[in-house]
Amino acid sequence: MKPNIFIDGEHGTTGLQIRERLAKRDDINILSLATEDRRDADKRRQMLGKCDIAILCLPDDAAIEAVKLIEETGNTACKIIDTSTAHRTHPDWAFGFAELDKDQASIIRSSKRISNPGCYSTGAIALLKPLIETGLMASDCSVTINAVSGYTGGGKQLIAQMEDASHSDHIDTSFHLYAMTMQHKHVPEIMDRSGLHKRPIFMPSVARFAQGMLVSIPLHLDSLNNTSVASIRDVLEAHYSGNGFVTVASSDETNETAQLKPEDYANRDDMKLWVFGDDASGHVNMVAQLDNLGKGASGAAVQNLDLVLS
């Protein structure tokens, strides 16, 4: 019997892309609400009460409410994949980044509560976790994270502001920084899941392209423990060896003519890690290249769904 999948919030940006990825699959049965019924509490409750797996594509408060609704229906067998921020540091929820360590895919596979990572977090954690885990980076290292995302990461409101010149709050600039108080909601999960104990400086930005993302972490080599540019790359390669979702650029690719474009990973569900720098200058720049709606959201949710179904 095919498992019933309900995407709660399927008409939002993340939900729509998950729906597209699942549209042609014949191993699952998609439960769906019509657009006009998406705010009907009784119909939502019915769907949440009979689905085998619920994928929540909702704001934090609504995601927390959806979990309660599932519990109230008595649907104790239901597995939940939450794409909101609500449960990303919760100890009872599996963190849905399968490449976090060698056991994480198994943890996700056996869990009933899975929290999808944030898009910026995915890139930052992918770069930081192996370094801290192996001792190349101290957990109290001073870290700065710079990132640029396609505007679809801001959801329908930002999409409308960027694409519609008649919108009352139209944004006509090609690039802008935001979260200037440096209190972005992804910082807690970056720290919690990477092992970083000292709060990083995180500066996100949005540019006028729809999908794609670069997350950059520049460092002084002397802030790390007896390391070199090559050893950083070696640690990342060893950590991600053998999986199809995270790859590490070779030393041949990271030459002085390399140019990284966030749009190059649009509509992809994988991620590539880059290590630039030179021992003589004592500088290194680690960069994660991904799609904010792929490995950073919808693609990761489908990857986690596949683990749960396996």
Tell if the pTM clears 0.75, that is, is over it: yes
Average pLDDT over residues 167-192: 87
192 and 89 Cβ atoms separated by less than 8 Å:
yes
**Burial class (CB within 10 angstroms; exposed 0-12, middle 13-18, buried 19+) of 172:** exposed
295 vs 102: CA distance, rounded Å: 18
pLDDT digits (tens, 9 = 90+) for 131-152: 999 999 999 999 999 999 998 8
144 vs 219: CA distance, rounded Å: 8
3-state class of 275 per DSSP? strand
* Helices 119-134 + 229-240 axis angle, to 10: 110
**Residues identified as active-site:** 119
Maximum mean pLDDT: which of 27-36, 153-162, 169-178, 196-205: 196-205
113 vs 159: CA distance, rounded Å: 30
114 vs 98: CA distance, rounded Å: 11
pLDDT digits (tens, 9 = 90+) for 233-284: 999 999 999 888 999 999 888 887 788 999 999 999 999 999 999 999 999 9
pLDDT score for 164: 67
Q: Which domains does the chain have, with CATH numbers?
A: 4-117+297-309 (3.40.50.720), 119-292 (3.30.360.10)
